[in-house]
Amino acid sequence: MTESIVVDHVSKTFTMQYHRTLKQMAVATVRGLPLNETFQAVNDVSFTVEQGESIGLMGLNGSGKSTLLKLINGVMRPDAGTIRTRGRIAGLIATGTGFHPQLSGRDNLFLNAAILGMSEAETKRKFDEIVDFANLGKFLDTPVSHYSSGMYARLGFSIAIHVDADIFLADEVLAVGDKPFKKKCMVKMQEVRKQGTTIFYVSHAAASVRAMCDRVLVLESGHLNFDGGTDEGIRYLQYDDDEASQEELLDGELGADV
């Protein structure tokens, strides 16, 4: 077995800028308000993934899952620690890929495929397959700004999954798709998994994670608090403590967002 991803004591801090104009900054300084604040999204996370492993990344919203995936993908760089990956990485991060709204689906397809490392010949060879999978019909040549969110996600997923990557990252992107398409995606991901691709799958759906993954990582406010088997991970996430009662479950502010 070869190492596919090595994450070594990685931290990422965001600086939140409160004031943008000179006037606002001056006012804030006079009043003694902070000009910016830092927020640690990923805190000293370390783990190693072998080639072909399928990882379920779980945790509440805002626990740093997307940031971690962005770091692995190379969109962001860690402030501390190192990340090493082997081979081609493809995937979808934080609902949707970088599509250009004014360009047609076809042009976006070529551009996205190129960014993911596909050559022109490779894209042309897989073009029909990608279009078929995305099931865009006559919308292929309309600007993607006219697409529904489902179509957007379908095209993005279809391109990424056809890249023949060594590492595939799927971050809650499928949440917007409809049932049959989700099913199709899961089948395709299992196919890719079977070919020995390393998979990172972000989902809150326990049963789906259980079927898809060999191992679960749980992030809690930036800390990697669990790293182990799927069943244990899911049990860990449910916080099986005695005080848990049905009332609490139905309590307000139940993350309506995905």
Partner 1 sequence: MRAANKAHQQQQADERGRRKNAAARARALAEKKADAMPVVHLEGEKQERFVDAVLTDPAPRGGILEVFQQRYLLRLIVGRELAQLYAASLLGLLWSYIQPALRFVVYYFVFGVVIAAHRGIPNFAIHLFCGIVFVHYFSETWSAGTRSIWSNRNLVLKMRVPREIFPVASMVVAFYHTGPQILVLMIASIVVGWHLSFTAVAAGVLGFAILFTFAGAMALIFAALNVYFRDFQNIVATITQFLHFMVPMMYPFSLVHDMVDKHPVIYQLYMANPLAEAVLLMQKFFWQASVDDPSSVANEFPPDLWTRGFVILGACLLLLLFAQKFFARLEGKFPERL
**Segment 118-177, which members bind partner 1 (CB under 8 A)?**
119-120, 166, 174-175
CB 72 within 8 A of CB 42: no
- Other C-beta atoms lying within 10 Å of the C-beta of residue 162: 24
d(CA 156, CA 150): 10
For partner 1, which is the closer residue by CB, 1 or 32?
1
d(CA 59, CA 65): 7
For partner 1, which is the closer residue by CB, 32 or 130?
130
The pattern of x and - marking residues 179 through 198 that bind partner 1 according to CB under 8 A reads x--xx--xx-xx--xxxxx-
d(CA 175, CA 18): 31
d(CA 56, CA 24): 43
Q: Which stretch binds partner 1 (CB under 8 A): 25-33, 90-98, 132-140, 145-153?
A: 90-98
Nearest approach in angstroms of CB 128 to partner 1 is 19
Nearest approach in angstroms of CB 98 to partner 1 is 4
For partner 1, which is the closer residue by CB, 14 or 47?
14
Length of the chain: 258
Alpha carbon of 128 to those of 142, 154, 164: distances in Å? 17, 14, 15
Q: Which stretch binds partner 1 (CB under 8 A): 24-32, 82-90, 125-133, 147-155?
A: 82-90
Asked whether position 11 contacts partner 1 by CB under 8 A, the answer is no
For partner 1, which is the closer residue by CB, 32 or 96?
96
Nearest approach in angstroms of CB 147 to partner 1 is 14
CB 218 within 8 A of CB 236: yes
CB 164 within 8 A of CB 192: no
Considering only residues 62-81, where is the footprint of partner 1 by CB under 8 A? Answer: 70-77
